[in-house]
Structure 1
Amino acid sequence: MKLLANHDEKLKQHMERPKLRNATYLSPQTQNHRIDVIGKRIIQAQIVDEVKNAQIYTADEVTSHNVELMPLCVRFVDKDINIREELLEICSLPRITGSHIATAIKDVLSHLNIEIVVRNMIDKMKSTIIFFTYSPKREQLLMEVVHKDAHSMGQRKPLIDICRTRWAERHDAYSHFYSAFVFIVKALEVIALGLHTEEWSQDVTTGWQGKYKAEAYSLLSGLQNFGFILTFLTVYQVLSHLTGITVKLQKTSVDIVEAFSMVDEVKNIYKELRETIEDDFNQIYKQAIRMAAQVDVQPTSQPRVAGRQTHRENVPAETVKDYYRRNMAIPFLDHVILEFESRFSPLSVTASRLLGLIPSIQCNSGMTVDISEVVQLYQDDLPSPELIDQELKCWTLKWQNKPSEQRPTSCAEAIKQCDALICPNIFKLLKIACTLPVTSCECERSASTLRRLNTFMRSSMGEDRLSSLALIHTHYDMAVNLDEAVNIFSKLHPRRLELTSVLNP
């Protein structure tokens, strides 16, 4: 009995001991917990604290490929007086309407306490790109056609996918498509009609299934259409003016004043194009005829005009050129100009009001900018708007006696030279000017991060895990205290074991 009692006592003690053999902490749930701690409890919490400290910030979003996921970014001026744009969180959207996006942004901030012709052309172009790039055999056929007839292309890929977010990369896709257009048509003729088979090996010219032949024939019919060619060239050339400004605006430190001057130049270019549309479109039309002749396409008669037409423009025209100029080129160019006005008009007005705070402009005798309107607009955000005139005199005297090369030329430079204690109102207005968003490029970079993480092989990843991983990946240069991560993890998910960081000695 005594031995039995001792055995029961030892068994009881053994049962009370922590079981170490199963404590690997490698389960998916534990991984999610650790990722959440580093991504949201540390990185996101630090960004939220900086945003709250800035007091003035703006938010932006962009959706990622066919999944309605919204990376939410904030733009603010940090404590070191640097303009920052940071990924804050990734959330899902039931729909991508304006109301749903606005509601999602409000929910996140509250949770953290803080034309048809052109569309058809783009759809056909994208379908063609997908048809070749998503199949190694079809892409190999196109590559062989290109290298046989165009040795000068070198290692350049004949086709690249159309980027959904960055126009600079989208323009590259248009450029590649334009250069490879003749070869694309020839490759489609091989698949759909069995032509040119004697020029290449049987590995790429034979064995095509019926569904691929039908798809190739449909694409070939769409591309060998003069309306498609003319529309493509019009869009390609008109939007080419956006390439330079898009690249320039991708800098996160670009402030509102620099953006204002850049946008104004491009707007003037489009207005000039609109005034000379007849001469410019004549050149595009001639180029379209030459391009069409390379694939045996002739300018066809204009589309039929019907009284109840709903899927095509109905402006009457005497010739094919007049029809496309009136129904495609002019409406498209007007749409581009209207978009510029609607997107950048508030930006331009606000920037013009804030220009007077920049010393290089303020001390320029040839330019006077009245900031009374902007003071009235932001008077609720200013600490003492009634003293703005006195501060403005002090701010002007500070720079009048200094050489022109020492005067700041942008809001980003000016705010670093402004003492918030001496000129609190000027400092606040400069902070607002720096916070105003120039583009959504930084948010689009977050969408690119999302693409790298949320691949088709990992499409079932949960929203919380995805958002935390995106924060870790985007802010990889942010120092993370691993001991703090371990302490937070142990408090959120208490275990019977004493946890310590295995990465630090």
Structure 2
Amino acid sequence: MLEICESCIREETLREVRDSHFFSIFTADVVGIAGEEHLPVLVRFVDESHNLREEFVGFLPYEADAEILAVKFHTTITEKWGLNMEYCCGQAYIVSSGFSSKMKVVASRLLEKYPQAVYTLCPSCALNMWLAKSVPVVGVPVAGINSDTNIRWNNYIAGRAFVLCSAVTDFDFIVTIVVLKNVLSFTRAFGKNLQGQTSDVFFAASSLTVVLHSLNEVMENIEVYYEFWFKEATNLATKLDIQMKLPGKFRRAQQGNLESQLTSENYYKETLSVPTVEHIIQELKDIFSEQDLKALKCLSLVPSVMGQLKFNTSEKHHADKYRSDLPNPGTLSAELHCWRIKWKHRGKDIELPSTIYEALHLPDIKFFPNVYALLKVLCILPVMKVENEHHENGRKRLKAYLRNTLTDQRSSNLALLNINFDIKHDLDLMVDTYIKLYTTKSELPTDNSETIENT
């Protein structure tokens, strides 16, 4: 009965998603339910009232094998939930380092099938934390520290404190957070802009090349940079009375090897620092791919952004990515020209809409069907913030449910009913669905058969 109730409630949300056509998917971090690990799955879409919404649609049992997880993820969304992935515009996954590599496999497999489902950052997680959580450095127990330490870890990476170091005794951990603090400083302003207003996101996308150039410069001169990082880590370890030494397994491997030139400094450079920098560079390239940046540059369609740019036709070039999704692609050029004229030659007393939300709610947006479709797709991308907090229900309620429910008391069925308590539901439909599953009287539960027959 709980499974039927869950299915009926989910279907109400999915019906709205299908009516909207375009959507994106993202997951929160893995959670424990009834002794098993599950991925919470959420969808973003624009409803019939032109509001961007995020809704929780269910849990997916986590698989250790990345390829199996990718298949089950796709099967659940398309076959069990009935969503057409051809309309999926974006995907994002907020997971800790232990699951990051597996979810990138999921993203890659979906991209192979659906190139339009760009892999992006999620605004609910700051860029520096996104990168720090995904670092696949073996031996750095980020995922294993307690919640109090985790908060201090977040503060350290943000450059506000380093009190986390007092809670650990491993020198490799100190080296890693020192490297992260210094490397992520190059991305800090870029990341803040990505979590800002529409215009900030547009210009941040344009500045990614500068950020990558700075990180590549670090990689090319790693010897110089690492000398300063290692000195900072050593000084910090001395203050905390933490001994600098190689891990035991590496010390044992070097015993009897007279030709070994491996020093502590070289070890931490080659096994921690270099892989961390390389990972951050590659991660930025992955989550801000050429397709992703082309999509974000379509934000020039937002009137306030357009007002800051020179009169040009670049919008059409970027919009070609979504040509197949437009209602009237043949009139795109003419429509974009009219849209530019509308805002370039506005009266001085007219305030330009500064967000996609405001643009979607313009009274005359109906005369620009292609622009409307493009703006609708853009705001669905996971990298964009939900501009009306009232419609962030799914993620907020999911966090509240997980926070207020003990792990051994959680239920995937009850979780969806609890989180989506305000969704309209049809009790008669639920009963009819239940009866269809038990087509004969003999299949009905004995203690309920008479009641159900009477119903």
TM-score of the superposed pair, with normalisation by structure 2: 0.65
Q: Are 2:43 and 2:56, in contact at CA under 8 Å, matched by a contact in 1?
A: yes
Q: Which amino acid aligns with 1:438?
A: V
Helix, strand or coil: the match of 1:406?
coil
User: Residue in 2 aligned with 1:160?
Assistant: 148
- Tell me whether 1:122 sits opposite 2:73 in the alignment: no
Percent identity over paired residues? 21
User: Residue in 1 aligned with 2:419?
Assistant: 474
Point out 4+ residue stretches in structure 1 off by more than 6 angstroms: 115-118, 173-177, 240-251, 301-306, 316-319, 439-444
User: Residue in 1 aligned with 2:383?
Assistant: 438
Which of 310, 315, 337 is 1:393 aligned to? 337
User: Residue in 2 aligned with 1:171?
Assistant: 154
Helix, strand or coil: the match of 2:82?
coil
Q: Provide the rounded CA distance (Å) in 2 between the counterparts of 1:104 and 1:452.
A: 25
Q: Provide the rounded CA distance (Å) in 2 between the counterparts of 1:475 and 1:364.
A: 41
Which of 87, 105, 108 is 2:74 aligned to? 105
Q: Provide the rounded CA distance (Å) in 2 between the counterparts of 1:368 and 1:303.
A: 62
Helix, strand or coil: the match of 1:58?
strand
User: Residue in 1 aligned with 2:54?
Assistant: 85
| 1:170 positional shift | 5.3
Q: Provide the rounded CA distance (Å) in 1 between the counterparts of 2:419 and 2:217.
A: 45
Helix, strand or coil: the match of 1:90?
strand
User: Residue in 2 aligned with 1:422?
Assistant: 367
Q: Provide the rounded CA distance (Å) in 2 between the counterparts of 1:404 and 1:120.
A: 59
- Tell me whether 1:58 sits opposite 2:24 in the alignment: yes
Which of 408, 415, 425 is 1:457 aligned to? 408
Question: What pairs with 1:253-268 in structure 2 (closer than 5 Å)?
Answer: 258-262=200-204, 268=210
| 1:420 positional shift | 5.3
Q: Provide the rounded CA distance (Å) in 1 between the counterparts of 2:364 and 2:75.
A: 33
Q: Are 1:74 and 1:86, in contact at CA under 8 Å, matched by a contact in 2?
A: yes
Which of 46, 63, 86 is 2:12 aligned to? 46
Q: Are 1:446 and 1:474, in contact at CA under 8 Å, matched by a contact in 2?
A: yes
Q: Which amino acid aligns with 1:385?
A: P
Helix, strand or coil: the match of 2:314?
coil
Question: What pairs with 1:11-410 in structure 2 (closer than 5 Å)?
Answer: 32=2, 36-37=4-5, 39-41=6-8, 43-65=9-31, 67-95=36-64, 97-98=66-67, 100-114=69-83, 119-123=137-141, 127=144, 129=145, 160=148, 162=150, 171-172=154-155, 178-179=162-163, 181-182=165-166, 184=167, 223=170, 225=171, 227-239=172-184, 258-262=200-204, 268-269=210-211, 271-272=213-214, 274-275=216-217, 280-297=225-242, 299=244, 321=265, 324-325=268-269, 328-345=272-289, 346-352=291-297, 354-364=298-308, 366=310, 368-399=312-343, 400-403=345-348, 406-410=351-355
Q: Are 1:281 and 1:325, in contact at CA under 8 Å, matched by a contact in 2?
A: yes
C-alpha change, 1:170 and 1:49, in structure 2 (3 Å) is farther
Map Cα deviations across residues 422-449 of structure 1 (whole Å, 9 max, x no partner).
2211211111111222179978767645
Gaps of 5+ in 2: 84-96, 99-134, 255-259, 387-391, 436-448
Q: Are 1:350 and 1:374, in contact at CA under 8 Å, matched by a contact in 2?
A: yes
| 1:344 positional shift | 1.4
C-alpha change, 1:343 and 1:279, in structure 2 (3 Å) is same
Q: Provide the rounded CA distance (Å) in 1 between the counterparts of 2:267 and 2:342.
A: 61
| 1:69 positional shift | 1.5
Helix, strand or coil: the match of 1:122?
coil
User: Residue in 2 aligned with 1:144?
Assistant: none
C-alpha change, 1:271 and 1:451, in structure 2 (3 Å) is farther
Q: Are 1:54 and 1:79, in contact at CA under 8 Å, matched by a contact in 2?
A: yes
Map Cα deviations across residues 171-217 of structure 1 (whole Å, 9 max, x no partner).
148789941544x47xxxxxxxxxxxxxxxxxxxxxxxxxxxxxxxx
Gaps of 5+ in 1: 1-29, 131-158, 163-167, 186-219, 310-315, 501-505
Of the two, which has the highest radius of gyration? Answer: 1
Q: Are 2:316 and 2:332, in contact at CA under 8 Å, matched by a contact in 1?
A: no
Map Cα deviations across residues 350-402 of structure 1 (whole Å, 9 max, x no partner).
212x1342223334453635133344332222122111122223222322223
Q: Which amino acid aligns with 1:100?
A: L
C-alpha change, 1:430 and 1:418, in structure 2 (3 Å) is farther
Q: Provide the rounded CA distance (Å) in 1 between the counterparts of 2:136 and 2:434.
A: 55
Q: Are 1:91 and 1:467, in contact at CA under 8 Å, matched by a contact in 2?
A: no
CA RMSD after TM alignment: 4.6
Q: Provide the rounded CA distance (Å) in 1 between the counterparts of 2:354 and 2:412.
A: 38
Q: Are 2:156 and 2:163, in contact at CA under 8 Å, matched by a contact in 1?
A: no
Q: Are 1:362 and 1:368, in contact at CA under 8 Å, matched by a contact in 2?
A: no
Helix, strand or coil: the match of 2:11?
helix
| 1:336 positional shift | 0.5
C-alpha change, 1:456 and 1:432, in structure 2 (3 Å) is closer
Q: Provide the rounded CA distance (Å) in 2 between the counterparts of 1:169 and 1:86.
A: 30
C-alpha change, 1:228 and 1:110, in structure 2 (3 Å) is closer
Q: How many residues are paired up?
A: 372
C-alpha change, 1:404 and 1:243, in structure 2 (3 Å) is farther
Which of 424, 432, 451 is 1:491 aligned to? 432
Helix, strand or coil: the match of 2:382?
coil
C-alpha change, 1:302 and 1:44, in structure 2 (3 Å) is closer
Q: Are 2:52 and 2:379, in contact at CA under 8 Å, matched by a contact in 1?
A: yes
Q: Which amino acid aligns with 1:292?
A: A
User: Residue in 2 aligned with 1:413?
Assistant: 358
Q: Provide the rounded CA distance (Å) in 1 between the counterparts of 2:189 and 2:308.
A: 29
| 1:54 positional shift | 0.7
C-alpha change, 1:181 and 1:499, in structure 2 (3 Å) is farther
Helix, strand or coil: the match of 2:282?
helix
Q: Which amino acid aligns with 1:333?
A: V
* Higher mean C-alpha deviation, range 258-267 or range 85-94: 258-267
Q: Are 1:302 and 1:319, in contact at CA under 8 Å, matched by a contact in 2?
A: no
